[in-house]
Amino acid sequence: MSSRMRLGYFLSETASNLRYNGLMTLASIGTVMVSMLVLGVFLLFNLNLKSTINEVSSKTRVCLYLKAEASGVEVDALKRMVEGLDGVRKVDYVSVDKARERLKQDMSGQADLGRIVDTAPLPASMEIEMVDTSKVASLTSVIKGQPAIDEIHYGEDIITTLNLIRRIVQIGGLAAIIILCLVTAFVIANTIRLTVFARRKEIRIMQLVGATDWFINWPFIMEGIFHGLAGSLLAIGIAAVGYTWLVKNWPLTFIFPLAYNEQALLHISIALLVGGMLVGAFGSFSSVRKFLKALA
């Protein structure tokens, strides 16, 4: 039989499998849909958490307060050194005058304070913008002993917390994804088991007339893949509509806007699609294989 005809046979067998237990097919697709939807929500949450961390990170600056007696040469040397360090995006020098100017701006409208600002002893500083906030600790340890530096300030707590959340989400997310996929595969395996059971007489005859396991397997595996495909397509559709609505109606008062990165969303869709199909194939394969082994 040519491979085209074989494919035709498999497709028609798969279609008749799906027809035979329509209700179970719907239940199975529904389960895949729910699982993939949960997976999708998780991935979207992860995407937003990542973009939030990036946002916070890019706004987190390390501030070096300089000693009043530090010379221009020392300050220049320090600036060049910091600029050369790993994870640093930008270094800004803030002179005493500039610092005073800023403070004035911040306090504008509070007229009485203007005079205090003029006389306040503000230090000159250097503001470091980081590319990668996880490098802050190593950065501070390197520059700690520099003679021009009086004090080092940075949002230690926020950065540590954010990185901790990121770690927890990554590990927890991975565990959740694995568990979800296993549960989904289990549900599909059960549905396919019903199909297999409904067609056990045919399978029996196929075995007796000499059909190979591979030949018997394919229509069922394709059925599982179809469940996965249909379920994840539905999940993608629901997630897309829901997320678009959320993005449009997201209150602007929130600190960070929802991430709407088309490429990332495409990746999530592909992940759901491939995930659903793999889970479907895996579920049905394990089910049919068990059955064939028991029979032969």
Partner 1 sequence: MIAFQGVSVVYPNGVTALRDLDLKIEKGDFLFLVGPTGSGKSTILKLIYREEVCTSGRIIVAGKEITGISRRQIPYLRRGIGVVFQDFKLLPRRTAWDNVAFALHVIGVGRTEVKRQAAKALDSVGLLHKADALPTELSAGEQQRVCIARAIVNNPVILVADEPTGNLDPDTSWDIVQLLSRINVKGTTVIMATHDRSIVDRMRKRVIALQNGRLVRDEDKGAYIGEL
Q: Is 186 in the site for partner 1 (CB under 8 A)?
A: no
* Residue closer to partner 1, measured from CB, 94 or 223: 223
**β-sheet bridge partners, residue 64:** 126, 152
Q: Is 290 in the site for partner 1 (CB under 8 A)?
A: no
Q: Is 213 in the site for partner 1 (CB under 8 A)?
A: yes
Q: Which amino acid is at 114?
A: G
For residues 233 and 227, what is the distance between their CA atoms, to the nearest angstrom? 10
* Residue closer to partner 1, measured from CB, 95 or 212: 212
Q: Is 73 in the site for partner 1 (CB under 8 A)?
A: no
State in angstroms the smallest separation of the CB of 12 from partner 1: 10
| Phi-psi region at 208: left, alpha or beta (left = phi > 0; alpha = psi -120 to 50) | alpha
Q: Is 111 in the site for partner 1 (CB under 8 A)?
A: no
Q: Is 204 in the site for partner 1 (CB under 8 A)?
A: yes
Q: Is 129 in the site for partner 1 (CB under 8 A)?
A: no
Q: Is 22 in the site for partner 1 (CB under 8 A)?
A: no
Answer for which of 77, 211, 238, 278 binds partner 1 (CB under 8 A) is: 211
* Residue closer to partner 1, measured from CB, 25 or 232: 25
Q: Is 202 in the site for partner 1 (CB under 8 A)?
A: yes
Q: Is 194 in the site for partner 1 (CB under 8 A)?
A: no
- Site map (CB under 8 A) of partner 1, residues 1-20, x = contact: xx--xx--x-----------
Answer for which of 65, 93, 215, 260 binds partner 1 (CB under 8 A) is: 215
Q: Which of 32, 30, 19, 27 is nearest to 198 (CA)?
A: 19
Q: Is 296 in the site for partner 1 (CB under 8 A)?
A: yes
Q: Is 294 in the site for partner 1 (CB under 8 A)?
A: no
Q: How, if at all, do strands 125-130 and 61-66 pair?
A: antiparallel
DSSP string covering 163-221: HHHHHHHHHHHHHHHHHHHHHHHHHHHHHHHHHHHHTHHHHHHHHHTT--HHHHHHHHH
Please report, for the chain, how many H helices and E strands are present, in that order: 10, 4
State in angstroms the smallest separation of the CB of 220 from partner 1: 13
Q: Is 200 in the site for partner 1 (CB under 8 A)?
A: no
* Residue closer to partner 1, measured from CB, 121 or 210: 210
Using CB under 8 A as the binding criterion, the count of chain residues that bind partner 1 stands at 20
**β-sheet bridge partners, residue 127:** 63, 92
Answer for which of 19, 115, 144, 201 binds partner 1 (CB under 8 A) is: 201
State in angstroms the smallest separation of the CB of 282 from partner 1: 21
For residues 249 and 27, what is the distance between their CA atoms, to the nearest angstrom? 32
Which residues, in sequence order, are CB contacts of 54 under 8 Å at separation 6+? none
How many residues are recorded in the chain? 296
Contact 278, 228 (CB under 8 A): yes
Helices 200-208 and 156-198 meet at what angle, rounded to 10? 70
Please give the residue ranges that form the binding site for partner 1 (CB under 8 A): 1-2, 5-6, 9, 201-202, 204-213, 215-216, 296
